[in-house]
């Protein structure tokens, strides 16, 4: 079976805890030497207020709420930068309570034809069992959960659904 390369390969680091969103502004990241000054100055700010901060740069998107911080990139080669930024941020804020951490990946794959796109759904979610229940069923999304196949503890959730960014295509999300 040929190896298919993801056309979009995103990574997200999600931290759950207790945060003060107003701290997490581009200028603050630059003042802590976590982002370059030019990068912070050129950041696209979507919102900054007491409850929510959202901004992005050429490789990064940060969303901060009082109970959650999300560091995200859609560039596979930037994952190590993303990891270093998340670690560096909370090294500067060592007393910030963090209760959970998640590292997620989403990969969008283009398929050659609509027939091939449908065949993925047919293999993952056979339609036969839906006869008499639904007319013309199709896979909108499928989530599988299982133990990790490596030496780390925990479980993985893998979700496959039609891509909203690549047509025809599928997205595979791992969390």
Residues of the chain with CATH 3.30.310: 8-104
pTM of the predicted model as reported, rounded to 2 decimal places: 0.83
Model pLDDT for residues 59-108, shown as the tens digit of each residue: 999 999 999 999 999 998 999 999 999 999 999 999 999 999 999 999 99
Does residue 1 surpass a pLDDT of 80?
A: no
- 142 forms beta bridges with 160
- 70 forms beta bridges with 14, 63
Determine the Cα–Cα distance for residues 12 and 75; give it in Å rounded to an integer.
11
Determine the Cα–Cα distance for residues 163 and 116; give it in Å rounded to an integer.
14
CATH of domain 8-104: 3.30.310
- 75 forms beta bridges with none
How many residues does this entry show for the chain?
A: 175
Query: Do residues 84 and 77 touch, judged by C-beta distance below 8 A?
Result: no
Specify the higher pLDDT residue, 4 or 161: 161
Does residue 159 surpass a pLDDT of 90?
A: yes
Q: Which token pair is 49?
A: 């207020």
At 2 the pLDDT is 62
Average of pLDDT values for 127-148?
92
């Amino acid at each position: 079976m040929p190896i298919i390369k993801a056309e979009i390969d995103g990574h997200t680091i999600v931290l759950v805890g207790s945060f003060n969103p107003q701290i997490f502004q581009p200028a603050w990241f630059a003042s802590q030497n976590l982002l370059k000054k030019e990068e912070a100055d050129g950041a696209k700010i979507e919102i900054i207020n007491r409850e929510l901060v959202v901004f992005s740069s050429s490789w990064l998107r940060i969303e901060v709420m009082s109970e959650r911080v999300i560091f995200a990139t859609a560039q596979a080669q930037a994952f190590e930068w993303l990891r270093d930024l998340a670690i560096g941020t909370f090294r500067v804020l060592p007393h910030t309570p963090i209760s959970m951490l998640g590292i997620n990946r989403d990969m969008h794959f283009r398929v050659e034809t609509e027939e091939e796109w449908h065949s993925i759904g047919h293999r993952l979610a056979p339609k036969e069992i839906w006869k008499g229940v639904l007319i013309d069923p199709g896979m909108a999304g499928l989530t599988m959960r299982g133990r990790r196949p490596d030496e780390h503890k925990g479980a993985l959730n893998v979700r496959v659904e039609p891509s909203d960014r690549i047509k025809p295509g599928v997205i595979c999300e791992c969390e």
